[in-house]
Structure 1
Amino acid sequence: MNHIFSYIKKHRVKSILIVSLLIAYYFCLPKQLFNDPTSTVIETEDGQLLGAQIAEDGQWRFPKSDSIPEKFRQCIIHFEDEYFYRHPGFNPISIARALRENVRAGKTVRGGSTLTQQMIRLSRKGKKRTYFEKVIELIQATRAELRYSKEEILRLYTSYAPFGGNVVGLDVAAWRYFGLRPDQLSWAESATLAVLPNAPSLIYPGKNQERLLQKRNRLLQKLLGKEVIDSLTYQLSIQEPLPQKPFPLPRMAPHFLQQLSKTEKGKRHRTTLDAELQQNVNNILSQHYEQLKQNQIHNAAVLVIDVHNRNVLAYVGNTQTDKDHQKDVNNINAARSTGSVLKPFLYAAMLDAGELLPDQLVADVPTQIAGYSPQNFEEEYDGAVKSKRALARSLNVPAVRLLRSYGLERFRDQLKAFRIEDLNKSADHYGLSLILGGAEASLWDLCKTYASLASTLNHYTESSSEYFNNEFTEPNFLAGHKPDFGNKTTEKTLLDAGSIYLTFEAMKEVNRPEGNEAWEFFDSSREIAWKTGTSFGNRDAWAIGLTRDYVVGVWVGNADGEGRPKLTGLSSAAPVLFDVFDVLPRSEWFAVPYDELTEAEVCRNSGFLATSICPKTNTLIPIAGTRSCACPYHRLIHLDSQQQYRVNSSCEEVSNIQEESWFVLPPLMEYYFRNKNAAYRSLPPFRSDCYNEGDISMDFIYPKENGRISLSKDFNGQVNPLVLRIAHSKPETAVFWYLDQQFIGQTTTFHELEVLPEKGKHLITVLDELGNELTRNIEIE
């Protein structure tokens, strides 16, 4: 050490010069050799290419590869630099030979660069090939050998070498020229690519084929001579044809690639997409698109999620339409009117709260609430319908009435907990139309929510009846990611497993053909819970289905919002849904979460908790359901000995009176219910000699309270009259009608009356012969 310090003191200038040269040598190599923009690339977990987006500079340049296939390694080394693993970055013998031959020829006929020097030249962006530039490349090459391993140098070279046209790097070249991953290339294909960077502007597939063939075969001959390949491999390899033109890169998930590039541009992504399933879904949507566009429906989207790990398995953001029909719009993330697809959430929430039972009758009658008048899709009414059938049939009126009962603000808070991003306005903004499509949500968020509900049920039955506190997590599309469902807890996350299970059971009922609901596409051997939805104006058609293992979501419509008459969830989206399920593995149905359900006695006719006077049946209900209401529709009545009339002690001996439980609906519900249920028996009338107090009720069928009515005209230009209608529990009773306190008529049995009021506000009054009175305010426009 003292000797060194003594030398420095004696030779200060020389020492400073040496240190300066060492520092310059250390820093002569840029910290980052390549900062070229790269393509955004998506692959399957096992490396199969799904799609790529060209780099910003217009080059197909994939991010640096992690490995180099052995065949290409052997080819590139034997063609470009046989001493690659033995030299320090330059080969003096090769340089001397090149100088000698170039001097003799008077021009550059041979290069003496190693692969390391060529890698440096690529990083220097094509500087002029002068001897001074060669010196710089040589110095930087030796520095690169100190910084990088041989493997890293080779990876950098193969990632940034030109392969003709705008193709840069081995990965892209393998796909563009052979449609294969680099590790799938044959010896002939590897040799073809190995010779291309030597003169990429002169020789590439489709140009100078003869020269390319000669160079490839000479390389294969060399590999044979070096015993890298055997004679049979050589003979077979030279028989392989050359590629004629570049293949297009796969475009299996263009909208997924587009979405990913917004935040992760220029990177290579191993994703959760299943290539076979993705292609199958692409084909299915393509087939349906040919039919849909006949009705001028041009856009659609499909999303498939694995329930267990929330991995996205298939992501098709649009049809193969054209620019005039918004082919680039990603409809998976677009906010659209939800139609009826939120109804199962309300059903489950009310089951969970103990405010609804699966077989409980709910009213399906003409309804007006604060000026809002919901209509069923078929524009018919059932009077009363089981809640699970109302959900299965997607009836609008019962849904609105249930939402009012449950509480609009309360349900809005429930949806907020599901983390549906586009559902971001207040309850007052949406109003009761929230349940019928008054809100917007994306296919992504809806599928995510259904997957979380299914996963909640799975986790509960697979564990010791426990929940996870982070069940409603985002779906994942990056391979290797493990979902964080949080910690186990005995407390439900949002909805209990029993309510979710019964909701899925109700959704499964849709699959069973019934009357004009017969579903021609459904394979009855599959158990699938599914829900369709159609937005106002037939702008959006939805179908979302789920099993224990998968959630499939479908949206169909026009991205510009144009509605079409035949665009419905049932006719447009559901066929796509079931075709997708047909290519998915079959799933077992959900296990019953017995710990969150209890067996209870309910009335057979009404579905409410049983009373002592109604016919009973046993069924599973949520535990909270044991606090729900007892049946209000059964009552004890007294009949004569022939059970034809009601009687009482004023007209019949007590010993002759028979007591019976009778199922009685309110008049308006009964009016519609008995038209759909032939077995329904109206309450028998009192015998004429009996004294009867009260027990008479009536209600308006039409018009609705505060209704605004426009009277139409017939073909002769005459204004059509307004038809007033009421339902009466005792139809034979005489009813007297008044318009603005003026008597306008009397009816019996069939209580309908035509009237032709003038424009303006009017009061309709109805009075029956027993003194019961009804009023209704209307406005004629």
Structure 2
Amino acid sequence: MKRLKRLIGIMLLGAVVGTAGVGAMYIYVLPELPDVNSLKDVQLQTPMRVFTSDGKLISQFGEKRRIPLPIQDIPLKMKQAFIATEDSRFYQNPGIDPIGIMRAALNLVLTGKKSQGASTITQQVARNFFLTRQKTYIRKIKEIFLALQIEHILSKDEILDLYLNKISLGYRAYGVGAAAQVYYGKSVNQLTLPQMAMIAGLPKAPSALNPLHDPIRAKSRRNVVLGRMLEQNYIDKATYQQAIATPLSATYHGAEIQVHAPYLAEMVRQEMEQKYGDKAYTRGLKVYTTVTSQRQLAAEKALRQNLLNYDMRHGFRGPVMHLWKDGQTPLSQQAITDKLATLPNYAHLRAATITDVADKQATAIIKGGQTITLNWDGMKWARRFISDDKQGNEPQNAHQILAPGDVIWVLPEADSNDYRLSQLPDASAAIVALRPDDGAIEAISGGFSFNQSKFNRAIQARRQVGSNIKPFIYSDAFASGMTLATLVNDAPVNQWDQSLGTAWRPKNSPPVYAGPLRLRVALAESKNVVSVRVVRKLGIDSVVQHLHLFGFAKDELPHNDTIALGSASLTPIQVVRGYATFANGGFLITPYFIDHISDSTDQIIYQAKPKIACSHCEHPQVPPTIVQLTSEPGNPLKQCPIDYATPEQLAPRIISQQNAFLVAQAMHSVITGGGSWAHHTGWNGTGWRALELHRDDIYGKSGTTNDSRDAWFSGFGPGIVVTSWVGFDDYTRNLGSSAYNNNLGKDQVYGGEFGGKTAQPAWIDLMRAALTGIPEHQLPTPPGIVSVRIDDKTGLLSNKTDYTSRFEYFIAGTQPTQYVQTSGSNSDSSIQDQIF
């Protein structure tokens, strides 16, 4: 009895001392314990995601990939896999596992090593949110107290929710939602049991047990998880046997990018970092851009295909490298595959190694290990590149192009499993599409491949604009009283340049001169000397001031006659913004590319409020209804977001509606031409290639600089304005010319490169995609515009109704008052007086 009393006393003393010790430890660490109440409103670190306006994923940014999921959306078997492996008594214990702690303590006494952590899921939540992974006694003590506090304020399901969404699972995947995407490209509810078990086995060592890093250890760990599930009766024996016999299926999956727009994504990233700092990457923000997926994809495709076409007609520059040469031992297929794996992808181009060459075909292994055949039709274009202006003879067989061991680029053929020989373009390009009523960017690309160059030419490349400047100059002419019928002498210009000590002789391209021309024809045919004469008539100060209205900085414009030929250097985004004024009736809009931003709970925290172009809205005493603004099919104002604009909501008017209409009419002739082909008076505008769109509601202007260093085409249709540019980043190179290739047939493009041939095809392709399904909608004739019949040759009034006359538009009061003489030359002198 005495011994029993002594034992009880010792136990009571031990309990008192133990309790006191625990209390002392709690008091000691209490000041260092964080407030676990923060877990009630925790914001998990999630990446920023960027979407198109119609909700397609463009990109995501952030160090950690996470897809937060509510606990009810996580499959039961996945929850059971984690519980069986990490904390089998999770729903029974108070946040700590006394049995596990005693087992870990005993192991420490026997081995002297801290090899068993004995951490429950709740303790892991405490560690993951508040502590480090450093193995120290004080950290363990804090972990225990935090776990007890967490159990007091959160339910078991809330704790499990935090755990499954926070846990690190390798390859920057945090939480089971991200892990399912990274390893299997699926959502969690699409995973099989073996796949769930694989993920549940990762928390112990996400790097060492990773199926992508060490498949053998990963499979062994997966089977351990399945064994624990069997022990806990979560699965039966048959299911277990079937699961452990299942081979590994994990492969790396990046983000589910639905619209590839890396230049736009980088624009968004920079804007968001400027707006929110580093928190932009961790708050789970969703950025919805203004681009539409259909138009963005069309823009990317148009730019790339146009560059590839340009590059191929100038010749094949040869293989990227040689893995072996004639007479050397070829590499094995595995060695070839390993080498190709080190080469990047550029857009749809894939690296390939030639393994065999026959007369009219070649065999190759492409990146990834697939063997393909290149047929003659896919390589017969490849005459040798000599210079930008010269190509070699057409090849007669595949041996003249390729040899075994060559590393080349191949391109998949559309709508087939075939490939064709290709190459990474040397030239560069940019394309931008805006909504002219408010400046929303609907598509943008700054180059062939972001992997090739991260320089965004759409917003960063300042290039000479050539004849793309002329509509702005003609706008000044109309503002100064000239008309579409004003005659200007298309004749050579000679001017002595005192600074150069020589005469300046601007030339037309081609150097053909037609004498007196109406301004409509002069713009449509892009007559350089007419533009020079117009600038001289207006004066440099007037032209510079007028161009400044369109957003072009005065100090970036040349203050001399070369401005008439487009010597100013502008970016594509500046150019397309200027052209939007002609499309929207005279307003200067501001381009923008972020429509709205929502937080991780889908609450909108930012909404763009662009100023809109709306001629109907300038007189609010008779405001149009939203129905009136949206009822006309194809109306550029159909997306007007408000009933009518207040002065604060309205974009600034910089030219009159009538002025914008006249410029647009001249740009219409750039595409349609004029005259009568039946009577041999027909003529083409420089943008005639757009006739293939079979629309009468498109307007454009080409642009080419000296020596064809830059090629442009800008223009618009219903609800969209587009600028396309092509050139070399190396400004010393010109776009050159290509000779006829006898291997390709009559429909090929060849000859000198210029705006209508080199930049316009991308513009046409984008317009075709953008306007599909949109009814024709010609610009409405604004008030203050009159139409009278004039003589084609003189611009005077005409009574004729045949091919020698046409109806022309004039601002009321500027139309001609004199009729052309039907015989004699009584009016010749008066006509000559009007020509300059």
TM-score of Structure 1 vs Structure 2, range by shorter chain: 0.5 to 0.7
Q: Which residue, 249, 271, 285 being the options, matches 2:288?
A: 271
The alignment partner of 2:202 has SS state of helix
Deviations 1:499-556 (A, max 9, x none): 3234333323333376676955752423422222112232221122321122232221
What CA distance in whole angstroms lies between the structure 1 residues aligned with 2:54 and 2:223? 32
What CA distance in whole angstroms lies between the structure 1 residues aligned with 2:792 and 2:689? 31
Q: Does 1:366 align with 2:492?
A: yes
| Number of residues of Structure 1 aligned to a counterpart in Structure 2 | 609
What CA distance in whole angstroms lies between the structure 2 residues aligned with 1:456 and 1:123? 57
- Structure 2 stretches lacking a partner, 5+ long: 1-22, 274-279, 315-387, 389-425, 498-503, 598-606, 620-646, 674-681, 738-752
The match for 2:780 is 593
Deviation at 1:34, TM superposition (A): 11
Q: Does 1:290 align with 2:308?
A: yes
Deviation at 1:200, TM superposition (A): 0.6
The match for 2:809 is 621
Tell whether the 8 Å contact from 1:206 to 1:243 is kept in structure 2 after alignment: no
Deviation at 1:318, TM superposition (A): 1.1
The alignment partner of 2:726 has SS state of strand
The match for 1:304 is 433
The alignment partner of 1:332 has SS state of helix
- Structure 1 stretches lacking a partner, 5+ long: 1-14, 458-469, 640-645, 647-659, 671-781
The match for 1:425 is 555
CA 1:154 to 1:631, structure 2 compared with 1: closer, same or farther past 3 Å? farther
Comparing 144-153 with 105-114, greater Cα deviation is found at 144-153
What CA distance in whole angstroms lies between the structure 1 residues aligned with 2:25 and 2:106? 38
Mapping for residues 8-27 of structure 1, pairs under 5 Å:
25=33
Q: Which residue, 242, 256, 262 being the options, matches 2:264?
A: 256
The residue type paired with residue 263 of structure 2 is H
The match for 1:553 is 723
The match for 2:398 is none
What CA distance in whole angstroms lies between the structure 2 residues aligned with 1:43 and 1:381? 51
The match for 2:18 is none
The structure number with the bigger radius of gyration is 1
Q: Does 1:95 align with 2:97?
A: yes
Comparing 193-202 with 601-610, greater Cα deviation is found at 601-610
Deviations 1:299-346 (A, max 9, x none): 1122233345543333221113876xxx22111112111112122223
Q: Which residue, 475, 478, 496 being the options, matches 1:348?
A: 475
The match for 2:207 is 201
Tell whether the 8 Å contact from 1:80 to 1:114 is kept in structure 2 after alignment: no
What CA distance in whole angstroms lies between the structure 1 residues aligned with 2:119 and 2:261? 42
> TM-score with structure 2 length normalisation?
0.60
Comparing 193-202 with 480-489, greater Cα deviation is found at 480-489
Q: Does 1:604 align with 2:604?
A: no
CA 1:555 to 1:194, structure 2 compared with 1: closer, same or farther past 3 Å? farther
Mapping for residues 372-391 of structure 1, pairs under 5 Å:
372-391=504-523
Deviations 1:617-659 (A, max 9, x none): 784635xx2333746895698x6xxxxxx8xxxxxxxxxxxxx
What CA distance in whole angstroms lies between the structure 1 residues aligned with 2:242 and 2:720? 46
Deviations 1:692-721 (A, max 9, x none): xxxxxxxxxxxxxxxxxxxxxxxxxxxxxx
Tell whether the 8 Å contact from 1:360 to 1:387 is kept in structure 2 after alignment: yes
CA 1:209 to 1:83, structure 2 compared with 1: closer, same or farther past 3 Å? closer
Mapping for residues 7-406 of structure 1, pairs under 5 Å:
25=33, 41-45=49-53, 48-52=56-60, 60-62=63-65, 67-68=69-70, 71-72=73-74, 74=76, 77-81=79-83, 91-92=93-94, 95-103=97-105, 112-123=118-129, 126-141=132-147, 161-168=167-174, 173-179=179-185, 192-209=198-215, 212-213=218-219, 242-249=248-255, 250=257, 252-265=260-273, 266-267=280-281, 268-272=285-289, 273-294=291-312, 295=314, 297-308=426-437, 310-320=439-449, 327-334=453-460, 335-351=462-478, 353=479, 355-368=481-494, 371=497, 372-406=504-538
Tell whether the 8 Å contact from 1:175 to 1:181 is kept in structure 2 after alignment: yes
The alignment partner of 1:92 has SS state of coil
CA 1:394 to 1:32, structure 2 compared with 1: closer, same or farther past 3 Å? farther
Q: Does 1:583 align with 2:769?
A: yes
Tell whether the 8 Å contact from 1:604 to 1:614 is kept in structure 2 after alignment: no
Mapping for residues 401-412 of structure 1, pairs under 5 Å:
401-412=533-544
Deviation at 1:238, TM superposition (A): 9.0
Q: Does 1:535 align with 2:705?
A: yes
% same residue? 22
Tell whether the 8 Å contact from 1:358 to 1:607 is kept in structure 2 after alignment: no
What CA distance in whole angstroms lies between the structure 2 residues aligned with 1:83 and 1:535? 70
CA 1:308 to 1:611, structure 2 compared with 1: closer, same or farther past 3 Å? closer
Deviation at 1:381, TM superposition (A): 0.9
Comparing 610-619 with 134-143, greater Cα deviation is found at 610-619
The alignment partner of 1:304 has SS state of strand
Work out which structure has the larger RCO, using CA pairs closer than 8 Å and 6 or more positions apart in sequence. Answer: 2
The residue type paired with residue 99 of structure 2 is R
The alignment partner of 2:711 has SS state of strand
Deviation at 1:397, TM superposition (A): 1.5
The alignment partner of 2:692 has SS state of coil
The match for 1:655 is none
What CA distance in whole angstroms lies between the structure 1 residues aligned with 2:761 and 2:246? 45
CA 1:591 to 1:330, structure 2 compared with 1: closer, same or farther past 3 Å? same
Deviation at 1:365, TM superposition (A): 1.2
What CA distance in whole angstroms lies between the structure 2 residues aligned with 1:113 and 1:256? 46
Comparing 587-596 with 538-547, greater Cα deviation is found at 587-596
Tell whether the 8 Å contact from 1:377 to 1:396 is kept in structure 2 after alignment: yes
What CA distance in whole angstroms lies between the structure 2 residues aligned with 1:634 and 1:239? 95
The residue type paired with residue 330 of structure 1 is N
Tell whether the 8 Å contact from 1:302 to 1:315 is kept in structure 2 after alignment: yes
What CA distance in whole angstroms lies between the structure 2 residues aligned with 1:403 and 1:147? 78
What CA distance in whole angstroms lies between the structure 2 residues aligned with 1:28 and 1:90? 21
CA 1:100 to 1:276, structure 2 compared with 1: closer, same or farther past 3 Å? farther
CA 1:67 to 1:447, structure 2 compared with 1: closer, same or farther past 3 Å? farther
The match for 1:477 is 594
Deviation at 1:261, TM superposition (A): 3.2
